[in-house]
Amino acid sequence: MKKLSVFVLLSAIVPPAPSPAASLRPCAVCGAFYSADADTLAAQAGGFIAGATSTVKTEGEVIGVLAPHAGYEFSGKTAGAAFAGIDSDYDTAVIIGTAHHAPVKAAALSDADFQTPLGTVSADAALIKKLAADKALFEISGEAHAKEHSVEVQLPFLQRKLKKPFKLVPVIMNTGDYETAAAAGRALGRALKGRKALIVISSDLSHYPSAATARRVDETALAAVETLDSGYFYLTDRILLGHGEAGLECAACGAAAIIAGMEAVKELGANRAATVRYSNSGETGDPRRVVGYGAMVFTKAKTPSKFEWKLDAADKKILLAAAREAVASRLTGARFGAVLSDSPKLNLPAAVFVTITKDGNLRGCVGATEPRGTLYDSVAHFARAAAFEDGRFRPVEQSELEKLRYEISILSVPEPVASPSAIKPKTHGVAISLDGRAGLFLPQVWDSLPDKAGFLSELCEQKAGLPRDCWKNPRAKLSVFTVYSFEDTK
C-alpha cells in the first residue's frame, strides 16, 4: 500500500480578519457535523489528512478534488484522503456543494466571509461579483447558504492543509438540468484562469440503500466521473437512479455540483481523475440504510487518461451468460431481470450490439449506437431482440438454443466523417443515414465484405433500405466507430 505524501500539520492557520465591509456567515453546523472546539477540530481534520492512505498513485498538478460532506465521524477519513494529496499553496478555493435547504435555479453564491472554529475565511469579493454578473447562471443568496453544510464542512480541511490564507468562492447547486450545471461549471473554470485555484466538489453519493447496493451504485458513479465526461456521468446517474434498487433515493446527492465541477476542472486543464478512497456509513452505522462517500483527485498530467472498454475474463463470462439466459428465459418463462453487478464496468452505460450465429451463419444482430442502459442490461435486452425481433430471421426456437453462439460488441461514440475516404476497412464500423432512413454495419462485416465500395453498397441496400450507391450522395451522413468485441467460445 502506497501512502500519499502529506504535510504534518501542527497548528491551525488563522486567516486575516474579515474586512469591515464584508458580512460574516457564522458556522452553522459546528458542534453537529464537526467539533465546535478549535483544538479538537484542528486535531481531527489534521489527523484525517495526515492519516490518509491510498493504493492509487496520482499524477500531475492537482486542479480539484471530490470530497464527501457528511459528519466527520462518518466521512472524515474519506474527506481527508481527498485533501491529503493537494498542494499546500492556493490563492483561491472554489467549493461547489449541494443546496440542501433551498431551491436554486442554477448556482447560488455567497459574498460573506465564512467562519469556522479555526478562524474566518475571506470571500473573494471581486470574483464573486464578476460571476454574479451572469444572472442566467449565478445569484448571490445568503439565505440559501445560511444553514447549508456542504461548503462549510470542507473549510476546516483547507484551513489545516493550506500554508497561507486563501480566498473563498462558495457555490451551491441543486438543478436537475444538465446544460445549466455544465454551463455554470465552464463559467467558473474560465473565471479562474490565471489563478492558483483549487476546485472542491462537495458531494456524498448514494442515499439510503443497503451497504451492498451502495457499493455497486457508488463505485459505478465514481467510474463514470473518472471518464471526465460530465454528460456520461449525468447519464450514469439517471440510469442508476431509474434502476429500481431498494431504498435508493439518489445516486449522488450533489449530481449538479459534480457536473459543474467536472467542467470547471477541465477548463483549468485537468485531464486525469482518480478515486483515492471509498466508504459508506454502513462501516460505522446501520448497514441496512447507508450513505456513500467517495474521494477523488483531478489532475493536469503529462499523459491524459482515456476511457476504454477492457473487460477481464470474469466480466466477459458474466455478460455472455446474461445473453444466453435472457434468450432462454424468454422461451421457458423463467424469471430474468435487470441486476446491478459487483463489477462497476458492467453497470456503466454502453452502446451495444449482440450478434447471434448458428452453425457459423448469422441468426440475428440487433443493438443501438447510443447507450440506453447499463452494459449488463443492454446485453440482455439486445440478445433477446437479436433472437426474436430481427426481421430478417424467424424467431429463435427452443430446439436451437444449444447451437446458438453469441458475440457482444461495445461501440465507441460514433464520429461523423466528411467522405468515404476517411473510412478505414477492418477498423471502422459505419453508420449511414439519408432521407429519414439509416443503417449500420459493425467492423466485423469487413471479414465478408473486404472491398470498401461493396461494403458501403451492401450497407445502403441491406441495412438502410436505400439505393446501393446512396453512400455517394453528398447529402448522405456517414459516421464511423470502433468496437470492443468478444464472443462465446463454448
CB of 124 within 8 A of CB of 93?
no
* Residue 79: per-residue pLDDT: 97
Q: 11 pLDDT exceeds 70?
A: no
For residues 247 and 370, state if they share a domain. no
The residue ranges of DSSP E strands in 259-329, in sequence order, are 272-280, 292-300
Residue 297 phi, psi (nearest 5): -125, 130
CATH of the domain at 320: 3.30.700.20
For residues 275 and 360, state if they share a domain. no
Q: 10 pLDDT exceeds 80?
A: no
Name the 3-class secondary structure at 217: helix
For residues 77 and 150, state if they share a domain. yes
* Residue 8: per-residue pLDDT: 33
CA gap 409, 407 in Å, rounded: 7
* pLDDT tens figures, 302-320: 988 888 889 999 999 999 9
Q: 489 pLDDT exceeds 60?
A: yes
CATH of the domain at 455: 3.30.1490.150
For residues 181 and 288, state if they share a domain. yes
CA gap 297, 200 in Å, rounded: 10
Give the rounded percent of residues in the chain with a pLDDT score beyond 70: 95
* pLDDT tens figures, 345-384: 999 999 999 999 999 999 999 999 899 999 999 999 999 9
* pLDDT tens figures, 266-306: 999 999 999 999 999 999 889 999 999 999 999 999 988 88
In a domain, 406, yes or no: yes
In a domain, 5, yes or no: no
Last residue of a domain, one of 388, 411, 434: 411
For residues 89 and 129, state if they share a domain. yes
Give the rounded percent of residues in the chain with a pLDDT score beyond 90: 87
In a domain, 317, yes or no: yes
In a domain, 15, yes or no: no
* pLDDT tens figures, 121-130: 999 999 999 9
For residues 61 and 188, state if they share a domain. yes
Q: 436 pLDDT exceeds 80?
A: yes
In a domain, 306, yes or no: no
Q: 13 pLDDT exceeds 90?
A: no
* Residue 134: per-residue pLDDT: 97
CB of 165 within 8 A of CB of 15?
yes
For residues 183 and 261, state if they share a domain. yes
Distances (CA, A) of 430 to 315, 362, 418: 27, 19, 13
CATH of the domain at 289: 3.40.830.10
* pLDDT tens figures, 207-239: 999 999 999 999 999 999 999 999 999 999 999
For residues 330 and 250, state if they share a domain. no
CA gap 364, 373 in Å, rounded: 21
Q: Residues 6 or more apart from 282 whose CB is under 8 A from it?
A: 210, 211, 214, 288, 290
* Residue 490: per-residue pLDDT: 65
Q: Cα 374 from chain centroid?
A: 13
CB of 95 within 8 A of CB of 260?
no
* Residue 163: per-residue pLDDT: 87
In a domain, 338, yes or no: yes
* Residue 301: per-residue pLDDT: 93
Q: 413 pLDDT exceeds 90?
A: no
CA gap 203, 182 in Å, rounded: 16
Q: Cell 441486476 maps to which residue?
A: 339
In a domain, 439, yes or no: yes
CA gap 136, 331 in Å, rounded: 54
Last residue of a domain, one of 251, 273, 300: 300
For residues 228 and 332, state if they share a domain. no
* pLDDT tens figures, 154-187: 999 999 999 889 999 999 999 999 999 999 999 9
* pLDDT tens figures, 316-349: 999 999 999 999 999 999 988 888 999 999 999 9
Name the 3-class secondary structure at 186: helix
Q: Residues 6 or more apart from 207 whose CB is under 8 A from it?
A: 248, 249, 250, 253, 291, 292
Tell me what the pLDDT averaged over the chain comes to: 93
Last residue of a domain, one of 237, 268, 300: 300
Q: 17 pLDDT exceeds 70?
A: no
* Residue 88: per-residue pLDDT: 82
Question: pLDDT-derived band of residue 21, with 50, 70 and 90 as boundaries?
Answer: low
| Tally of structural domains, the chain | 3
The single-letter code of the amino acid at 308 is: E
In a domain, 397, yes or no: yes
CA gap 152, 72 in Å, rounded: 12
Q: 248 pLDDT exceeds 90?
A: yes
For residues 394 and 437, state if they share a domain. no
CA atoms within 13 A on the CB side of 114: 35
- Cell numbers that stand for 310 in this block: 477492457
Q: 2 pLDDT exceeds 60?
A: no
Q: Residues 6 or more apart from 150 whose CB is under 8 A from it?
A: 69, 95, 97, 98, 99, 100, 172, 202, 203, 254, 257
Instruction: Tell if the pTM clears 0.95, that is, is over it.
Output: no
For residues 362 and 252, state if they share a domain. no
Beta 24-25 vs 113-116: how paired, if at all? parallel
* Residue 22: per-residue pLDDT: 65
Beta 272-280 vs 107-109: how paired, if at all? unpaired
Domain membership of residue 429 as a residue range: 415-485
Distances (CA, A) of 137 to 64, 107, 133, 179: 21, 6, 9, 11
For residues 329 and 180, state if they share a domain. no
